Amino acid sequence: PSPDAAPGEVKLWVNLGMDDGMDEAKLPATLESLGAPGGKVIKALTRATYGYVYVPEAEAPGFEALNGKTHGDKALKLERHRPRGQREERRPRHEALPDVPGQARLWVGLGRQEGLDEAGVAAALEAAGAPAGKVLRTDLRPTYAYVFVAEEDVAGFESTHGKSYGENKTLKVERAKRK
């Protein structure tokens, strides 16, 4: 439980804030319009990009049921507030493949969510005009991939940036940045 919630109350974090036109009065009304139990918000606080609502413990499931509903063009997220230090451990970061001299690492905006595997990413790039058979290795992620090519082939791959992929997607290809 959140230390600033009274006994019997739950503090819920919501991904709607002042940037979404919310204030302390509009946030409860917006949640109610999306199906939250009416008149149950005890207190609301808004920040630039998110807000908090305090609700009775018994009503929390009715608010949490709003997860995934849309407000404007945004999928709603509500979750119980977890004070710092009480959050679950994060998964370890995916280790990137090491760089190899003479190879360039390119970021490609295609990943597993498009139903692709390593060969599918290479095929999509080649279909968009990249040099055939020049992908040396691929590090596939859920929403993007790193493609390794010889330095001399980079321009041929970067030329596919901005071309269409599938029905509604524009291909994005650029030299990967180091963190």
Residues 122 and 67 in one domain: no
Q: What is the C-alpha separation between 148 and 105, in angstroms, rounded?
A: 5
Q: Does 132 map to a domain?
A: yes
Amino acid at 78: L
More confident residue, 87 or 155: 155
Pairwise CA distance, residues 131 & 116, whole Å? 19
171 Cβ partners below 8 Å, 6+ apart? Answer: 108, 109, 110, 124, 125, 128, 160, 161, 162, 163, 164, 165
* Shared domain check, 15 and 73: yes
| Full-model pTM | 0.50
Per-residue confidence (pLDDT) for residue 178, from 0 to 100? 74
> In this predicted structure, what is the pLDDT of residue 57?
94
Domain containing 135 equals 103-175
- Evaluate whether residue 2 is within a structural domain: no
Instruction: Please check whether residue 96 is in contact with residue 179, taking contact to mean a CB–CB distance below 8 angstroms.
Output: no
Q: Are residues 70 and 25 in the same domain?
A: yes
Task: State residue 10's pLDDT score.
Answer: 93
Predicted confidence at residue 100, as pLDDT, reads 82
Please tell me the total count of domains within the chain: 2
In a domain, 90, yes or no: no
Reading across the β-sheet that carries 43-46, which strands appear in turn? 43-46, 51-56, 9-14, 78-80
How would you list the strands of the sheet with 103-108, edge to edge? 137-140, 145-150, 103-108, 173-175
Please check whether residues 65 and 109 belong to one and the same domain: no
Residue 93 covered by a domain: no
Q: Is 128 a domain residue?
A: yes
Q: Same structural domain for residues 68 and 128?
A: no
- On the CB side of 9, CA atoms within 13 Å amount to 17
Kindly state whether residues 49 and 111 are assigned to the same domain: no
CATH number, position 73: 3.30.70.330
User: Same domain for 47 and 110?
Assistant: no
pLDDT tens, residue by residue, 57-116: 999 999 999 988 888 888 899 998 877 766 666 666 666 677 788 899 999 999 988 889
Q: If you average pLDDT over every residue of the chain, what do you get? A: 89
